[in-house]
């Protein structure tokens, strides 16, 4: 029996360790200290987490981080990047674990998921006198919630219809013009769907699908009071019209799997002549495709053309212990000078009016007109706090609905019952 003493001691030790670990976890209330450090001379290091699609993009953000240090040598910004899809999973976990970076990048659609871990910036905007007048109003609105501003935007834009000018010419179809209607769109799509090619590429992803549904029905997937409304009959009817482009009218290719870049890839490869996309992808599509790119507003439904806008920016985590320095860094990163550089690189369509000209200089003919026309009717896309789940459910359950093996009414109804709260 004596032998069992060390063992019970070990058990006690394990139990003690577990409890202290649990206690350490339990004490996290989002007000811990993380995301940067201050040394003896008052130099501050600020962590900044951002998504990026590759080395070139990362370098562009690193240049912005370096600019902060150049503007104020006391502040050093440490950049870390993840792919866009992984970013929000990682950030949610980090905020929950109390180890969030100081500067948190956030997309307007995902604000609801992260805002409980973010600091309202209104006081800092006032005390540091940020010139909010220069920002596109929709861009600020997209990163605000319940009257509080949670992020300073760097890009924002309305969703547009991109089209393959060469393919339209080849098929002898007139290029879409401002003011075109849903009927014009379906007629063109039908005429372009020949020889194994398609007029349009549809996909049940939020930003690709809902601008079309909004134009058709006037409804967003989330009501003005922030409730998921996929059970809305008008929205469902519009959804069915959209899905029929694939399943019934066969003017868009059949979907398979869960590849969210499917529609873009079909468009870039020349298999589909039209696709819905935001201005942030425009210049990269222009450089990847070997055809002449065109852009026009979303086709008008019964009450005119409407579209959704979305954008991204930077917020400060609640656990950041140097919010003043973090805000100064964000001010530099979103300054006209920095945004003009990003715009010239084609990385982002700037949220500042004063930085948009370099972007237009790089874009194809007609891009400016299309963007301005779409921007005039764009509404910021509303989302719910569990939008990450809603978004992935839309793709998962939406694929068979698009292919015509189930109805949009059933699909939307099911997601509504699973995700409405």
Partner 1 sequence: MSTQSTTAPARERPAQGGPPRSKKSWRDSDATAATVFAAPSTIGLTVFTVVPIVMSLVMSFYNWPAFGERSLTGTGNFSALLGSPEFRRVVLNTVVFTVLYLPLNLLVSLGLSVWIATMRRGRQALRVIFFVPVVTPIVANVLVWKMIYQPNGLIDGIGQQVGIDMPNFLGDPNWAMIALVTMSVWQGFGYNLLVFSAAIDSIPASLNEAASLDGVGPWQRFRHITLPMISPSMFFATTMTLITTFQVFAQPYLLTGGGPGATTETLVLFIYREGFANFALGMAAAGAWVLFAIILVITALQFLFQKKWVTYDV
The contact set with partner 1 (CB under 8 A) reads 1, 3-4, 6, 10, 13-14, 17-18, 21-22, 25-26, 30, 89, 92-93, 95-96, 113, 116-117, 196, 253-259, 386, 388-389, 392, 395-397, 399-400, 403, 405-406, 418
Question: For the sheet containing 160-164, what is the strand order?
Answer: 274-277, 160-164, 293-296
Looking at the Cβ atoms of 271 and 292, the one nearer to partner 1 is 271
Q: Hunting for tokens 């719910």 — which residue is that? A: 384
Tell me the β-bridge partners of 148: 145
* Six-digit token string for 91: 């950030």
Closest separation between CB of residue 81 and partner 1, Å? 19
Is 9 strand, coil or helix?
Answer: helix
Q: Hunting for tokens 């370099």 — which residue is that? A: 358
As a whole number of angstroms, the distance between CA 214 and CA 190 comes to 22
Looking at the Cβ atoms of 314 and 397, the one nearer to partner 1 is 397
Looking at the Cβ atoms of 218 and 400, the one nearer to partner 1 is 400
Closest separation between CB of residue 21 and partner 1, Å? 5
Looking at the Cβ atoms of 131 and 410, the one nearer to partner 1 is 410
Closest separation between CB of residue 77 and partner 1, Å? 25
Looking at the Cβ atoms of 82 and 406, the one nearer to partner 1 is 406
Give the dihedral of Cα atoms 118, 122, 125, 128; nearest 10 deg.
Answer: -100
Give the dihedral of Cα atoms 357, 359, 362, 367; nearest 10 deg.
Answer: -90
Alpha carbon 308 to its chain's center: 12
As a whole number of angstroms, the distance between CA 196 and CA 270 comes to 11
One DSSP character per residue, 276-343 reads EE-HHHHHHHHHH-SS-EEEEPPPBBTTB--EEEEEEEEEEBTTBS-HHHHHHHHHHHTSHHHHHHHH
Looking at the Cβ atoms of 318 and 341, the one nearer to partner 1 is 318
Looking at the Cβ atoms of 228 and 348, the one nearer to partner 1 is 228
Looking at the Cβ atoms of 210 and 262, the one nearer to partner 1 is 262
Find the distance separating the first CA and the last CA of the chain, reported in whole Å. Answer: 56
Closest separation between CB of residue 269 and partner 1, Å? 10
Closest separation between CB of residue 13 and partner 1, Å? 8
Closest separation between CB of residue 288 and partner 1, Å? 19
Alpha carbon 267 to its chain's center: 20
Q: CB-based burial of residue 386 (10 Å sphere; 0-12 exposed, 13-18 middle, 19+ buried)?
A: middle
Closest separation between CB of residue 320 and partner 1, Å? 15
Closest separation between CB of residue 388 and partner 1, Å? 5
CB neighbour list of residue 30: distance below 8 Å, 6 or more residues apart? 95, 98, 116, 117, 318, 319
As a whole number of angstroms, the distance between CA 394 and CA 390 comes to 6
């Amino acid at each position: 029996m004596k032998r069992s003493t060390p063992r019970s001691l070990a058990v006690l030790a394990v139990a003690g360790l577990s409890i202290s670990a649990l206690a350490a976890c339990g004490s996290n209330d989002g007000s811990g200290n993380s995301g940067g450090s201050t040394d003896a001379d008052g130099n501050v290091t600020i962590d900044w987490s951002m998504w990026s699609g590759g080395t070139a993009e990362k370098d562009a953000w690193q240049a912005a981080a370096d600019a902060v240090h150049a503007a104020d040598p006391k502040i050093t910004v440490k950049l870390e990047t993840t792919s866009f899809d992984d970013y929000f999973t990682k950030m949610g976990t980090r905020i929950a674990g109390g180890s969030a970076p100081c500067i948190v990048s956030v997309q307007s659609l995902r604000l609801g998921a992260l805002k409980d871990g973010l600091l309202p910036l209104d006081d800092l905007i006032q005390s540091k006198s940020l010139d909010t007048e220069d920002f596109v109003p929709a861009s600020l609105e997209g990163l605000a919630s319940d009257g509080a501003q949670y992020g300073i935007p760097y890009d924002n834009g309305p969703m547009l219809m991109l089209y393959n000018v060469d393919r339209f010419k080849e098929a002898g179809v007139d290029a879409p013009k401002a003011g075109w209607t849903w009927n014009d769109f379906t007629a063109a799509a039908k005429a372009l769907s020949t020889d194994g090619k398609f007029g349009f590429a549809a996909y049940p992803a939020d930003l690709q699908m809902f601008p079309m549904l909004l134009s058709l029905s006037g409804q967003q997937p989330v009501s003005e009071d922030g409730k998921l409304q996929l059970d809305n009959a008008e929205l469902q009817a519009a959804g069915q019209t959209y899905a029929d482009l694939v399943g019934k009218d066969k003017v868009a290719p059949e979907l398979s799997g869960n590849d969210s870049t499917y529609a873009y890839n079909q468009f870039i490869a020349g298999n589909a002549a039209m696709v819905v996309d935001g201005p942030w992808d425009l210049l990269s599509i222009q450089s990847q495709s070997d055809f002449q790119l065109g852009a026009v507003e979303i086709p008008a439904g019964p009450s005119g053309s409407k579209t959704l806008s979305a954008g991204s920016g930077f917020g400060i985590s609640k656990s950041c212990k140097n919010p003043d320095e973090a805000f100064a860094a964000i001010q530099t990163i979103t300054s006209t000078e920095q945004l003009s550089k990003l715009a010239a690189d084609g990385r982002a369509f700037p949220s500042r009016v004063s930085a948009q000209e370099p972007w237009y200089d790089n874009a194809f003919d007609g891009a400016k007109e299309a963007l301005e026309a779409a921007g005039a009717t764009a509404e910021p896309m509303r989302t719910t706090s569990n939008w990450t789940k809603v978004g992935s459910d839309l793709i998962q359950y939406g694929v068979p609905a698009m292919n015509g093996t189930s109805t949009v009414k059933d699909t939307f109804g099911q997601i509504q019952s699973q995700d409405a709260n």
